[in-house]
Structure 1
Amino acid sequence: MFLIILIKSLIIGALVGVGVGAGAARMFHAPTTQGMGAFRTLGELNSCEGDPASHFSFGLGFFFNAWASSVAAGSFTQDVDHRIIPNWGAAALMIKNRNVGETLHDPKKMAIACAVIGMIVVTFLNLTASSVPEALQVTAVKVLVPAANLLVNIVMPVIFWLAA
């Protein structure tokens, strides 16, 4: 069962990553090129201003919420494909080159980077969710999901406000 989940997660993660990465990058070229990303994703990518650490930490804040939801409820939140994968893909590209025109705005580079990130994230979330016994999932729903929501809704905004 482990091997089946691993293989399917790698495939799904790569496909999601390609779509999300290329779609987010194409949004920067609208209206001359049709984009397929969400405006929310575009705004959040712009808010990090091409700083790899900002992109990574922005995605990391939502990663724990998505992880808690996948372990507790067995499903992904929209944060995986709207926030985690595109921001971590952008962070990976911008480690060596902070020029957003050559990295974040390039659909091909974003598709490749996000495919790799998607493979890692989706596989990790699926494997950890599948390893939790059903009896513990009931407890996790009652403990982890409220804790993750508290982190995202209260703690992270305070941290971002203090950092500004």
Structure 2
Amino acid sequence: MRRTDVAEAWLGVGTAALMTALAPLAGATLAGNVGAQLLRDQQGWHRTTAVLTENAAYTETAVAAGDTGRAEAMVRWTAPDHSVRTAMALVPTGTRAGATTAVWTDAAGRLRHQPMTAHQAEVLGDLAGACAAAGVCLVLVGGRRVVVRVVLDRYRARAWERAWAEVEPRWTHRHA
């Protein structure tokens, strides 16, 4: 075996060892942090009563998406600073203008989606952690490939050229 072959083998072993250590660490760390951050971000959200300013009817896009239970409609609510706000919100289909519905707002009175549960935040955190672990693996495998192709293959090519320069005159009967 050439020295470059041995180096390539050890590079593979080192890459596998780093992947075994770093991928789970990165995944677990990010999973916990993302899940916790998602829950912290929605801590100040609260349920507010809003009044529909228009009827909530079926829309072609809602039916096409298979969502026949909710529709978009303009709603009005009062923010904590006592200002009146309006925005489009998903409400039960068929709700008439003037009816009340529950919406979620943040501390500044901005409309938000319904907060996710702890389980949903955990699942999204786990997904982010899996992506981080995969990213670590891709970076390590890509780094190994770059080292093999750029460094080791260049070294092999130079060694081949030196060997050929030594042997070629004898094989072709050309002498320099």
TM-score range, shorter chain: 0.3 to 0.5
TM-score (norm 1): 0.33
TM-score (norm 2): 0.31
Larger RCO (alpha carbons 8 Å, 6+ apart): 1
In our comparison, the structure showing a higher alpha carbon Rg is 2
